[in-house]
Amino acid sequence: MDFNKIYTHYLDRHGHVSTSVHPLPEVDPELIIVIPSYDEGDIFLVLNSLYASYQFQPVLTLVLVVINASEISGDGIRKNNDLTLQSVHQFCAKVKDTEGFEIKVIAEMEMPAKHAGVGLARKAGMDHAVKIFQKNNKEGIIVCLDADSLVALNYLSVLKGYFEKEKDCDAVSIHFEHVLDVVRYGADVIDTIIAYELHLRIFIRLQKWLGLPYAFQTIGSSMAVKASSYVLYGGMNKRKAGEDFYFLHKIGDKGKVNELRETCVFPSPRISHRVPFGTGKAIGDALKDEKPVMTYNPVSFEKLKPFITSLPRIYEVGWHACKSAIDPVVNSFLDENEFEKALENCKQNSKSYAGFQKRFYQWFNAFKLMKYCHYLRDKGGLHDVKPTDAYASLLYLSNNTRGPETATEAEKILFHLRNIDKKGVIIF
């Protein structure tokens, strides 16, 4: 493959490459880690975590720290960004004699207010990574991490080895476990992040129970992509939040996204004002409003399953022969979203059931599933529930009672789900 050609094609049309990185790195990297940093201050911990992983098993690594701000950012944010720059320079001095591990700063300090945010910051770093791989005309791995996250010791070596082994894999969702440090963050924050992580894991597990092909986590600090796949699927978006969800599912719609379970990222549970929604915002809102974290009602998935399992029959005999067996509220959602029109399109453009199924899931994708969950909550009377209650329902739906005997021990349940997610267990 002529990597230079496909990288150039992308960069010429969609690239956001900063001119603030001088000179180009000395290392010819196999992995490029992109870390957006906005209003952070000292980021020693994440850099040290990566360096420890490099020392554990060296992999040619470049870290791009994208220190960013909006054109309208205040003095406080700019002061913290200056502290970040100082901490990076201090860390670079510490590791300057290390061959094969290098850190560079991308300064995006005057981003247009309309687009400034984590999406554009990630894009700036990831597009610059493409530019570096273009210079060397080679395939490479672009890794997304956050400034407040830590990584396991085997992080770099596992990432390199996984993509070498899984040649047809475009991107990965990396196993994550939020830090549960009560002393550092306080009991209220930790209780809330436990509930939130339970929500994330149960939501994906319910998708696995349905057999959906896009049942993987989309956490911005826990994903990686081949450079060639990055450009093939149009690169990172400029969203101020949710950029990770849209990015990975865009690839998953037509490419292959796998779950990488052999290593781990440890995101921070901290409250954050940096994005309009997401983990940090959800934790802050829950604590501010004194309301528990909730998750989607598992009954929504139970009602959806007959429709999903009817796909082969729908393909063979048509929708009208199957429609009466589907729950009325599911039918109502499908009607409002013009399912019959979409179904006809899927059939006309498919020569086999496998082709039809692929096209169907490009229509009933992760975005449509979220829309469905909101529809059944708002119009179907299936209100959100506590994650511990959702876990109890999941056990029932799975016809299995292993795991914690009670659905009230949130932390115990979370450790159990982390463990089986690491093992790749589908039904537990």
> How confident is the model over 58-93, as pLDDT tens digits?
999 999 999 999 999 999 999 999 999 999 999 999
Mean of all residue pLDDT scores within the chain = 92
Note whether 397 and 210 are within 8 A (CB): no
Q: Are strands 31-37 and 101-111 parallel, antiparallel or unpaired?
A: unpaired
Higher pLDDT: 285 or 403? It is: 285
Q: How far is CA 250 from CA 34, 234, 257, in A?
A: 19, 9, 10
Please tell me the total number of residues recorded for the chain in this structure.
Answer: 428
What pLDDT score was predicted for residue 25?
Answer: 87
pLDDT in tens, 402-413: 444 444 489 999
Q: What percent of the chain shows pLDDT beyond 70? A: 92
**What is the spatial distance between Cα 370 and Cα 384, in angstroms, rounded to a whole number?**
13
Q: What are the φ and ψ backbone dihedral angles of 412, each rounded to 5 degrees? A: -65, -40
Confidence of residue 237 (pLDDT cuts 50, 70, 90): very high
What pLDDT score was predicted for residue 278?
Answer: 60
Q: Are strands 101-111 and 150-151 parallel, antiparallel or unpaired?
A: unpaired
Q: Of 78-87, 271-280, 350-359, where does mean pLDDT reach its minimum?
A: 271-280
Fold of 3-181+215-271: Spore Coat Polysaccharide Biosynthesis Protein SpsA; Chain A (3.90.550)
Q: Are strands 31-37 and 141-144 parallel, antiparallel or unpaired?
A: parallel
**What is the spatial distance between Cα 58 and Cα 44, in angstroms, rounded to a whole number?**
20
**Tell me, what DSSP letter sits at residue 39?**
S
Q: Are strands 223-226 and 31-37 parallel, antiparallel or unpaired?
A: unpaired
Beta strands in 71-136 (DSSP E): 101-111
The full set of domain ranges for the chain reads 3-181+215-271
Q: Considering just the CA atoms, what is the radius of gyration of the chain in Å?
A: 22
Q: What is the pTM of this model?
A: 0.93
